[in-house]
Amino acid sequence: MELQAELEELQPVVMNLFKRSKRENRLSHGYLFHGPNGVGKKRLALWLAQSLFCLEQTDEVQVCSHCVNCTRIANDNHPDVHWLEPDGASIKIDQVREIRSELMKQGMESNQKVLIIDEADKMTVQSANSLLKFIEEPEAGTLLLFLTTNPAKILPTIASRLQPVAFRELPFEQLVKKLEQVGISQQKARIFASLTGSVQEAERLNEDEFFQEARNASVKLYEGLHHDGPEPLIFIQETWMPLFKDKAALAVGLDLLLLLYRDVFHLMLGENYEPISAGQAELLKRDALRFSLQAITQDMETVLEAKRKLDSNMNQQLLMEELVLKLKGGHLFA
Ligand SMILES: [Zn+2]
């Protein structure tokens, strides 16, 4: 699919904003693109840069993707379009100085220049400050695009001078379709799509061996709690805690556990619901018949509560033990 068509499907609101701004000649001098990984921020920045230089654009299609300018920009080979991204852990002052001197030169081939800063939250304070002059006194014809997954980490002095543009997460079914297109089975795609709104993040999970183990562990814990799986408290101690070594890992484990309860919940509400955990479908369907809606709602809330507690300094094994006791108690119909 051509880039423009792809972006129109992926981020229709953002694309409408930019198409309108371009048509009315009201592009701002700086934007802050924010949203999760894999939702098209970089591709949209590329599209926007190309749209300023494309030689074959029409009213309908602002980026042809194949003219000499579109090609050079896509290959990072255009003298007036610059990309800046972290060198190691941060965007360093030397990198910014170099770009600044490029930006201060006369446009090489036009009076238009673009600077795209990926992972802009990784700018050091010095780097950010040295760009500040540019943002405060924008030169006509310079477009600055700041991209981030974490807008709260952009210095307020900078963020306040940029127009924020929110990128949405992909809707569930659309994400599943995309994941299937890159070769992920439908069953896995539905699990990943329940956990993240991002194609990239889902692809990462797919390649992560830990994730598969985590998934197995969450199913085992559920079976231990509500069927004839391992004794939950022992399982927590012997298998769960050694697997989920830190907060981030434990959060994934809890998300996966929550997925099973959510399936039961949705099965109770709709006969035609296809459980995300297709491998456990039969067992979950049985649970949907024998558990009460109130108990399942309570269970989901209990898991979410445990997830929130991860941010406190509570001992993690204690947190899990408390969770298991709550999930086990008072669960079935009285
Ligand atoms: Zn073109």
Cα three-residue angle 225-298-213, rounded to 5 degrees = 40
CA of 59 to the centre of ligand 1 (A): 13
What's the 98 CA to ligand 1 centre distance in angstroms? 28
**Per-residue model confidence (pLDDT) at position 171:** 84
CATH 1.20.272.10 domain span(s) along the chain:
208-328
C-alpha 63 – ligand 1 centre gap (Å): 5
User: What distance in angstroms lies between residue 186's CA and the mean position of ligand 1's atoms?
Assistant: 36
Query: What percent of the chain is predicted at pLDDT more than 70?
Result: 98
Distance CA 286, CA 229 (A): 16
What topology does CATH give the domain 208-328?
Zinc Finger, Delta Prime; domain 3 (1.20.272)
Query: So what's the pLDDT on residue 234?
Result: 96
Quick check: 245 and 333 in contact, CB under 8 A? no
Q: Kindly report the length of the chain.
A: 334
Which residues, at least 6 apart from 101, have a Cβ–Cβ distance to it below 8 Å?
none
What pLDDT was estimated at residue 4? 92
The DSSP output letter for 165 is E
For the stretch 271-320, pLDDT in tens is 789 899 999 999 999 999 999 999 999 999 999 999 999 988 889 999 99
pLDDT at 107: 66
pLDDT at residue number 334: 39
pLDDT < 50 stretches in the chain: 333-334
Cα-to-centroid distance, 76 and ligand 1 (Å): 14
Ligand 1 centroid, distance to 82 Cα (angstroms):
17
Instruction: Write down the residue that tokens 């306040």 correspond to.
Output: 160
Interval between CA 279 and ligand 1 midpoint (Å): 47
Q: Tell me which residue of 200, 323, 179, 184 sits closest to 251, measured CA to CA.
A: 323
**Options 3.40.50.20, 3.30.930.10, 3.40.50.2300, 3.40.50.300; which CATH number does 3-166 get?**
3.40.50.300
Using the mean position of ligand 1's atoms as its centre, give its distance from the Cα of residue 308 in Å.
48
- From ligand 1's centre to the CA of 268, what distance in Å? 52
Structure tokens at 142: 């310079």
Rounded Cα gap, residues 161 and 140, in angstroms:
15
Q: DSSP per residue over 180-207, as a string?
A: HHTT--HHHHHHHHHH-S-HHHHHHHHH
Residues paired with 123 in a beta bridge:
91
**Is 16:62 a contact under the CB 8 Å cutoff?**
no
Q: Where do the H-state alpha helices sit in the chain?
A: 3-10, 12-23, 41-53, 68-74, 93-104, 125-136, 156-159, 172-181, 186-195, 199-207, 209-226, 232-235, 241-243, 247-269, 281-290, 293-309, 316-328
What is the 46 CA–ligand 1 centroid distance (Å)?
A: 12
Computed on alpha carbons and rounded to an integer, the radius of gyration of the chain in Å comes to 25
CATH 3.40.50.300 domain residues, the chain: 3-166
Burial class (CB in 10 A: 0-12, 13-18, 19+), 27: middle
Nearest alpha-carbon partner for 144 in 165, 189, 107, 113: 113
If 0-12 CB within 10 Å is exposed, 13-18 middle and 19+ buried, where does residue 111 land?
A: exposed
Tens of pLDDT, residues 155-197: 999 999 999 999 998 888 888 998 999 899 999 999 999 988 8
Taking the centre of ligand 1 as the mean of its atom positions, its distance from the CA of residue 320, in whole angstroms, is 56
Q: What percent of the chain has pLDDT over 90?
A: 71
Distance 200 CA to ligand 1 centre (A): 27
